[in-house]
Structure 1
Amino acid sequence: MDSAKVISLEGRRDDPLRYGIHGVKSDIIEPHPLESAYRSAKLKQEDMKKKILCNTYGAAFPMKMELDRQILSKFQRPPGAIPSSFLGLEVVDGTLEGFGFEDYLNDPKDSESIRTTDMHHGMEVRLGLSKGPPCPSFM
């Protein structure tokens, strides 16, 4: 899962009913050994791509692409019935052509057992007026 697409949950992290029991082991090691290898290979590939673009088009082009990526990663819809799709970010990153698990398995957000999002509570959490996850979990 791409870290740029993940929306961080705001509020208290020490609530075991919402976030699960906290373990020190999960802070020290990765969930799976291949995950760290995947992340490091992805970082090397992105670094190599930036170097190639810098040598081909000049130093300003990779900086402009990074600025575009930062702008597109911050665009979000208000919490509600329609989630943010980050389509522009997927086009810039080149992940639009990717085929993830949500393309052939059911996306958990499309489940019938998930509760609908309350727009007012989601905005309160985003602005820091309320605590807890901005989106409700399953029933």
Structure 2
Amino acid sequence: MDLSGLETEQKTVPIISYSSDFLENGLPNFKTQTLPKHPVEKMQINKQKNEREKQYNMLGKVFGSQYPLMLRLEEEIYNQPLRLPCLPSSYLSLEVFRGTDIEVEPEDLYNDPNNSLLIQPPVHQQMEQYLGMNDLK
């Protein structure tokens, strides 16, 4: 029997990334990793992207097609993390570029790591996890 013409459809199960330290990172939750984001959150993210695209289109019509390309390149440069992976980056240059540095948002007031209930592990331990060195011990 020739089965070369029949295509078999492979079914896949989403893979959940498990952390090696459940006490530090909590138990994995299948529901939170597979369900889509809330519709209002999606609308807010899409609104910001759409507004930025409208602005780039308008600037392209006024100043020429090279200007939005230059702005996108600058935005990509500012969006790159400039610190070690375990250290938080403020992305201040990106905020200044987008003009959001003068807006006061809830994250500005309530995002202080000193007030957090979670205890961050030491920087060296975070770097060992990031580089995969704690498996070598």
TM-score, structure 2 length as denominator?
0.66
Q: Is the 8 A contact 1:13 1:19 kept in 2?
A: no
Which residue of the other structure, out of 77, 81, 92, is the alignment partner of 1:75? 81
Between 1:106-115 and 1:42-51, the stretch displaced more is: 106-115
Structure 1 unmatched runs, 5+? 1-11, 132-139
Aligned residues: 117
Between 1 and 2, higher relative CO (CA 8 Å, sep ≥ 6) is seen in: 1
Task: Show the 5 A alignment for 1:1-139.
Answer: 13-15=17-19, 17=22, 18=25, 20-24=27-31, 26-30=33-37, 32-78=38-84, 83-104=88-109, 106-111=110-115, 113-130=117-134
- Once residues 119 and 17 of structure 2 are traced to their aligned partners in structure 1, the CA distance between those partners, rounded to angstroms, is 21
**CA offset at residue 34 of structure 1?**
1.1
- Once residues 51 and 24 of structure 1 are traced to their aligned partners in structure 2, the CA distance between those partners, rounded to angstroms, is 39
Aligned-residue sequence identity (percent) comes to: 22
TM-score, structure 1 length as denominator?
0.65
Name the larger-Rg structure: 2
CA RMSD of aligned residues (A): 2.9
